Amino acid sequence: MIDHSAEFGFDVTTTSPGTSARCGTWHTPHGTVETPAFMPVGTRGTVKGLWPEQLVETGAEMVLANTYHLALRPGAEVVEELGGLHQFMQWDGPILTDSGGFQVFSLADMARLTDEGVSFKSHIDGSWFDLTPERAVALQEQLGADCIMCLDECPPHDVPREKLLRAVDRTTDWARRCRDAQKRSDQALFGIVQGGVDPALRERSAEGLLGLEFPGYAIGGLSVGETPESMYATLDVTTPMLPVDRPRYLMGVGTPRDLFEAVVRGVDLFDCVMPTRNGRSASAFTSAGEIRLKNRQYRTDEGPLDPGCDCTVCNRFSRGYLRHLIQSREMLGAIMVSYHNLVYYQNFLRSLRDAIRADRVDEFRSVHLADVPASL
pLDDT 10s digits, 243-300: 999 999 999 999 999 999 999 999 999 999 999 999 999 999 999 899 999 999 999 9
pLDDT 10s digits, 75-105: 999 999 999 999 999 999 999 999 987 776 6
DSSP E strands, the chain: 9-15, 22-28, 31-35, 37-39, 63-66, 95-98, 111-113, 118-121, 128-131, 147-149, 188-193, 216-219, 248-250, 269-271, 283-286, 289-292
Average pLDDT over residues 8-22: 97
Q: Which fold has domain 24-272?
A: TIM Barrel (3.20.20)
Distance separating alpha carbons of residues 258 and 231, to the nearest angstrom? 9
Of the CA atoms within 13 Å of residue 266, those in its CB half-sphere come to 22
pLDDT score at 100: 82
Phi, psi of 373 (to 5 degrees): -55, 155
Distance separating alpha carbons of residues 184 and 29, to the nearest angstrom? 12
DSSP structural state of residue 304: B
pLDDT 10s digits, 189-220: 999 999 999 999 999 999 999 999 999 999 99
Phi, psi of 106 (to 5 degrees): -75, -25
- 129 band by pLDDT with thresholds 50, 70 and 90: confident
| 289 three-class SS | strand
Residue ranges of domains in the chain: 24-272, 284-368
Contact 91, 55 (CB under 8 A): yes
**Tally of CB atoms within 10 A around 174:** 26
| 247 three-class SS | coil
Distance separating alpha carbons of residues 282 and 294, to the nearest angstrom? 7
Distance separating alpha carbons of residues 376 and 374, to the nearest angstrom? 5
Q: Return the percentage of the chain with pLDDT > 70, whole number.
A: 97
Contact 319, 303 (CB under 8 A): yes
pLDDT 10s digits, 28-55: 999 999 999 999 999 999 999 999 999 9
Distance separating alpha carbons of residues 319 and 134, to the nearest angstrom? 49
pLDDT 10s digits, 321-352: 999 999 999 999 999 999 999 999 999 999 99
Amino acid type, 304: P
Average pLDDT over residues 297-319: 97
pLDDT score at 371: 56
pLDDT score at 376: 43
pLDDT score at 101: 75
pLDDT exceeds cutoff 50 at 160: yes
Distance separating alpha carbons of residues 39 and 32, to the nearest angstrom? 13
pLDDT exceeds cutoff 50 at 59: yes
Is 98 marked active-site? Answer: yes
Phi, psi of 343 (to 5 degrees): -60, -45
pLDDT score at 106: 67
- Given the residues 98, 146, 258, 268, select the one marked as catalytic: 98
- Given the residues 146, 152, 258, 271, select the one marked as catalytic: 271
Is 173 marked active-site? Answer: no
| 371 three-class SS | coil
Average pLDDT over residues 229-236: 98
Is 290 exposed, middle or buried, given 0-12, 13-18 or 19+ CB atoms closer than 10 A? middle
N-to-C CA span, the chain: 42
pLDDT exceeds cutoff 50 at 374: no
Distance separating alpha carbons of residues 295 and 298, to the nearest angstrom? 6
